[in-house]
Amino acid sequence: MIERWTRGALAAIGLCVVPAPAIAQDDLDGAPMSMSLQVTTDPSTIECRRLEKVNPASLVFLPLRRTFNEDFDEHPLANGRWVPHYAGGAAWPEARYWGGDGSDFKRKTSANGEQQIYVDPRYAGRNAAPLGLDPFKVKDGVLSIVASRTPPGLKPVLFDNEYISGILTTQGTFAQKHGYFEIRAKVPVGHAVWPAFWMLADDGGWPPEVDVLEGRGEKPGDLVMTTHWRIPSTQKIQSCGFDFAVGDASSAFHTYGVLWEEDRLVYFIDRRPVSDIKVPIGFDDPMYMIVNLAIGSKFFLGVGPVDAESPPTVAFEIDRISVYQIDLEQARR
């Protein structure tokens, strides 16, 4: 999601059509306390690869136990699990300027060319009192992060951003090293629309970054899953990932996940492995989760700047977010 250092740095990228999952959609609805994922044990490489043909002899079932689950049966800010802005940290102090002018601080990643500001009911912008703007709507166990055009009268108060929208992170409330991280969601489309579910190191450093899901709003059904890391000897950022075509991604719920093992990262769509990469250097700390709906981009293909065709309002619908840890004791049996 943080694109300013990664332009032109993708080691591999391409479009892959994801076949219908072998798992019934009903089985994907919930987050059981324990489950198994089918994974490959063959050697992985630092350059990511699609898992279109996997040697059946290399497949094993990896047991997992649930460590986090959010079904969004209540407002996401009601339970203390989620923070509605970026936090930054000592390992990456400049992250504190994500945004820019005054109270815009922590409320956008301006280097991306984003044209939204992330708000919540307590956010005041340039105002002395909270504005009461709430981009988070909950209905029937589904969270909608809603982006809408900024009311003209509030533009000066909200630093002249074209849209208001929402972000939720678990920095400071939940982070985990290794395991399986999954979102079940519909992926919105539209000009300048950029939904994402991603992970950063809990110490505030960057990279590493794991983009479990990014939607290219101007390319319906086109999703990208990417790993970002830094080469210590050159300090250059490297990225490797693939685009996947999920034709009904905007109209039907699907699950999108990443399994972080000691030696590899495996990306999943509907719990089917679709790509993997050897864990790059620098993936040493637990990671926290971020889910957001950005509007506008300078660099991210398929997400351009706001224009007349950009929707007046758009929603990122999220049914749940779940995390599992690898059950080492069960795996040894």
Residues with a known catalytic role: 209, 214
Distance CA 241, CA 14 (A): 8
Distance CA(230)–CA(228), nearest Å, equals 7
Q: Are 208 and 282 in contact (CB under 8 A)?
A: yes
Q: For the range 98-105, what are the long-range contacts, defined as Cβ-Cβ under 8 Å and sequence gap of 24 or more?
A: 100/159, 101/159, 102/126, 102/159, 103/159, 104/159, 104/161
Angle among Cα 277, 282, 288 to the nearest 5 degrees reads 85
Query: Which of 291, 289, 267 is CA-nearest to residue 279?
Result: 267
3-state secondary structure (DSSP) of residue 325: strand
- Name the DSSP class of 10: B
For residue 224, which amino acid is it? V
Q: What is the distance between the alpha carbons of residues 180 and 66, in angstroms, rounded to a whole number?
A: 9
Whose structure tokens read 């699609």?
Answer: 50
